[in-house]
Amino acid sequence: MDLLIVAVAGLLAIAGATQLSDRVKVAPALLLLGLGIVVGFLPVVPAIEVEPEIILEGVLPPLLYATAVSISTINFRRELAPVAVLAVLLVAVSAAVIGAVLTLVVPSLSLAWAVAMGAVLSPTDAVAISIARRLGVSQRIITVLEGEGLLNDATALVVLSSAVAAATAGTVTVAGVVGDFATAVLVALVVGWAVGELTLHLRARITDASVDTVVSFTIPFLAALPAEHLGGSGLVAAVVAGLVTGHRSPRLLPPDHRIAGQETWHTVELVLEGFIFLVMGLQLFGIVEEVSAAGPSMTTAVWLAVLAGGLTVAVRAAVVAPMLAWLRRRAERHATRWEKMSEPVQAFERRCQAIAHGEVPEDMQIPWDPHRRGVRRRLKRALRLHHLPVSSERTQRRASAAVNRIRRRGADMEYYRDEPLGLREGAVIVWAGMRGAVTLAAAQTLPASAPNRPFLLLVAVLVAAGSLVIQGLTLPWMVKVVRPSMEGPADEEERGELVRLLVTAAREVVAERGEGPTVLPSRQLVPAPGEVVGHDAADRDARIVHKANGEYVVSTALAAERWKDPQARHHDLVSARATALDVVRAQREALLDAGELGLYSAGSVEYVLKYLDYEEIMLTSQPG
């Protein structure tokens, strides 16, 4: 009964903090952290301790999975370089620097234990993402922070386990740490991808949206548990499964299943995040009590936490600054090279498009220019393949794939040009590197043999809580001062291109069905009262539908007379609905293809995709 009361109170606290956050302009995580600290220090509340396995194995996999499902995979691919720098290099450098400084200021702490403490303080928390998103910073900053938060936990935990092994056994080498990390990531990639693909094909056979949502709850654990058993990172496996699911589900799962799952997972994410920070605040009293009994003093813990917290920000800035310079030089170099190659690339694209449309004779189906340097080996291989008995369909598919690669590369160049990561954006990335739940959970995994374990745990909690409060509360001020690029509404040009894309897809469906103009889904092309709308000339009496001046014209009087016949009315409705469903599905495929190429912003693609999903749900739920 006591546990049930605590659970109900916790849920109400999470709901209240989320609802109150918009009014007080403070993130829900910070409100729950403060509430937990206040409640934890009440005399009637005993000291609370949560096993780290609950956080690492029970809370973080679904939380990271939920974030990975919702992230834009095309943007994640584009930002893979800065994400790798922040999630791998920054974590390793932070652990080494913080460990070296701690050995100097705390001589009783060996280098191995100090590096372990540095690994505990290295990973960032996802709470910064929600704060930054509310402030409206550009999607590129959000993607970098999301990608870092998804992957840096694995790096920190591998470094932590290696440092603990070195402190207890003294047999760890740098090569061994690198090998352990590579193994953990590779195993996680394979397991996460396999689980994501298999569960998607399983869920595609489920007909009930509620059942599909229940199955989705198991995916992060189906990925994490085998990966951990095989020596991989369970957290990375859950992330990979989430990326695969988010990328592939629009093509494989029905729209009502996806929408139901998104809403449910949003609630799960809200509860899990709230639980982490509430528990983090509640545990502070017990940790303070242990340190007061065993020492060193609280003052020492506070100033050591200030030093370690300052080091995390300084090291982050020292890594982010050269990273931005490298990214800028790389973008300029690629842009210059792309501009110099514009004419050959355009010629290559025209040849591929001609091949894809079957407009080139078979003896000319090699699009490469034989006079260009650097492609002779590729040309010889292509010519050898050309003389093999390859079907024209395969040749056209390969040409279409080549065109898509060119368009994707061009879209990437525009993305880097339109949303550069400069010093202003870098300042936000540095200041948004807050510590949180992973730091607390990782600190609790320190073995009992660690010197002054309660003291180290208190330092970790103070660093996490201090960074959340100080950086979390001042991040809005930082954004106002540095004025980074902000996320704005889709421009009119992009909206127009999306409309043309949808209209083109609809026309192709109508042309394939051999129909004249037809009734399209509601809120797309809805005829006004008395408006002339064409119908299928093959299925309707010529007296009702006829062509005048090249347009299909319907006689409203004869059409009304026809609709008095229930059988004819049912036939017309079924035909119109079938056409409308085909149109919506074709538009979704065209939108997803364009989204994978990066031709439109992720926000615009997501908005239109949800619009089409609701259209299909409405059409399929109508009575027959």
What is the chain's mean pLDDT, rounded? 81
- The predicted structure's pLDDT at residue 490: 63
Confidence of residue 571 (pLDDT cuts 50, 70, 90): low
Rounded average pLDDT over 241-263 = 93
- The predicted structure's pLDDT at residue 95: 92
- The predicted structure's pLDDT at residue 131: 79
DSSP 8-state class, residue 526:
P
H/E element, 547: strand 545-548
Query: Under a CB-based contact definition with an 8 Å cutoff, are residues 439 and 92 in contact?
Result: no
**Of 192 and 514, the one with more pLDDT:** 192
Percentage of the chain modeled with pLDDT above 70? 83
**Of 98 and 355, the one with more pLDDT:** 98
Torsions phi, psi of 613, nearest 5? -60, -45
Please determine, for residue 385, whether its predicted confidence score (pLDDT) is greater than 60.
Answer: no
Q: Which residue has the tokens 């910070």?
A: 30
Please determine, for residue 387, whether its predicted confidence score (pLDDT) is greater than 70.
Answer: no
Query: Under a CB-based contact definition with an 8 Å cutoff, are residues 255 and 617 in contact?
Result: yes
Confidence of residue 257 (pLDDT cuts 50, 70, 90): very high
Query: Under a CB-based contact definition with an 8 Å cutoff, are residues 141 and 429 in contact?
Result: yes
Point out the least confidently predicted range of 28-37, 218-227, 327-336, 433-442. Answer: 433-442
- Quick one: angle between helices 453-482 and 127-135, nearest 10? 10
Query: Under a CB-based contact definition with an 8 Å cutoff, are residues 62 and 241 in contact?
Result: no
CA distance 258 to 243: 15
Rounded average pLDDT over 255-268 = 92
Q: What is the pLDDT of residues 136-172, one digit of tens each?
A: 888 889 999 989 988 888 888 888 888 888 888 766 6
Point out the least confidently predicted range of 107-111, 355-359, 578-582. Answer: 355-359
What's the number of CA atoms in the CB half-sphere (13 Å) around residue 199?
A: 28
CA distance 486 to 135: 9
Domain definitions of the chain by residue range: 2-333+418-482, 343-413, 492-621
- The predicted structure's pLDDT at residue 299: 86
Q: What is the pLDDT of residues 495-515, one digit of tens each?
A: 788 888 888 888 888 777 655
CA distance 147 to 429: 12
Please determine, for residue 561, whether its predicted confidence score (pLDDT) is greater than 80.
Answer: no
Rounded average pLDDT over 110-120 = 90
**Of 206 and 549, the one with more pLDDT:** 206
Residue partners of 363: CB distance under 8 A and separation at least 6: none
CA distance 495 to 587: 15
Q: What is the pTM of this model?
A: 0.82
H/E element, 551: strand 551-554
Confidence of residue 523 (pLDDT cuts 50, 70, 90): very low
- The predicted structure's pLDDT at residue 532: 43
Point out the least confidently predicted range of 25-29, 142-146, 539-543, 593-597. Answer: 539-543
Please determine, for residue 375, whether its predicted confidence score (pLDDT) is greater than 70.
Answer: no
- The predicted structure's pLDDT at residue 246: 92
DSSP 342-376: HHHHHHHHHHHHHHHTT-S-GGG---S-TTSTT-H
- The predicted structure's pLDDT at residue 378: 52
Domain 2-333+418-482 indexed as CATH 1.10.10.10: no
